[in-house]
């Protein structure tokens, strides 16, 4: 079946603009995770959901970042008033459940803030 | 808090030779351990995992990893490297105990280059 998809794949925005990044998990996957990956580094956790409930948002760097998954499927990560330091690859992953250990990653959204 | 160390930024190996990519971890209690591979312009692909049981875990594409609790290591291995194995490899950990964090903590990655 289809894997995790993310859109857009590339996003260039001006400093101060808001952006919304979308993640469509594998069908039937309960858990959805957002990570951010800087160049040359491993992914770093941002937040995760079980169904529509946000279980942990401890990795969100500040209150400009928010995420939702209103119907327990597609999720949106929103960054308000973007800054150049927000430039990174944003990756989404899903798993069958939190007891289903491996996470399957999407291709990522490359965000560049100019 | 958990952490992962991949001490080598770069590993070069000749095609046909065995390869090892090193990983050590720190976590409270018992760990779940994972290896992922990242090819250029693609997402991370799951290779293998250790949960419990046999310390030698076999995964995709002929890769295997050995869990060593006393050395807190989970090194990735392959008996005979292929040029197509050249990629960026990430080790990741999460705690085993219920109620603990579900997210993965990744190492900084090791770039594997297999030379023809």
pLDDT at B100 over 60: no
Determine the pLDDT at residue B82: 97
CB A3 within 8 A of CB A25: no
CB B107 within 8 A of CB B75: no
pLDDT in tens, B65-95: 999 999 999 999 999 999 999 999 999 998 7
CB A105 within 8 A of CB A91: yes
pLDDT band at A73; cut points 50, 70, 90: very high
Pairwise pLDDT comparison (B98 vs B1), residue with the higher score? B1
Q: What are phi and psi of B62, to 5 degrees?
A: 80, 5
Per CB-CB distance under 8 Å, the chain A contacts of B92 are 42
With a pLDDT cut of 90, the percent of chain B lying above it is: 75
B17 contact partners, CB below 8 Å, separation of at least 6: B80, B81
Instruction: Tell me whether residues A56 and B90 touch, CB distance under 8 A.
Output: no
Here the tokens at position B8 are: 């080598």
Residues belonging to chain A: 114
Per CB-CB distance under 8 Å, the chain B contacts of A102 are 34, 46, 49
């Amino acid at each position: 079946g289809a894997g995790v998809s993310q859109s857009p794949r590339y996003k260039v925005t001006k400093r101060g603009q808001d952006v919304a990044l979308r993640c469509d998990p594998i069908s039937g996957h309960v858990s959805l995770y957002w990570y951010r990956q800087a160049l040359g580094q491993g992914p770093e956790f941002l937040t995760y959901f079980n169904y529509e409930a946000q279980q942990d948002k401890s990795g969100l760097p500040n209150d400009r970042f928010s995420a939702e998954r209103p119907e327990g499927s597609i999720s949106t990560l929103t960054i308000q008033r973007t800054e150049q330091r927000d430039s990174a690859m944003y990756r989404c992953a899903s798993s069958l459940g939190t007891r289903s250990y491996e996470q399957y990653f999407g291709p990522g959204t490359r965000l560049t803030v100019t | 808090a958990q952490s992962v160390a991949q001490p080598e930024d770069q590993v070069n190996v000749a095609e046909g030779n065995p390869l090892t990519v090193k990983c050590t971890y720190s976590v409270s209690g018992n760990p779940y351990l994972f290896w992922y591979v990242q090819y250029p312009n693609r997402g991370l692909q799951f290779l293998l995992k250790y949960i419990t049981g046999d310390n030698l875990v076999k995964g995709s594409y002929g890769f295997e990893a050995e869990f060593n609790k006393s050395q807190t290591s989970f090194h990735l291995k392959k008996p005979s490297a292929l040029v197509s194995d050249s990629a960026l490899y990430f080790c990741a950990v999460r705690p085993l105990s219920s109620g603990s964090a579900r997210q993965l903590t990744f190492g900084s990655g090791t770039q594997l280059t297999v030379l023809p």
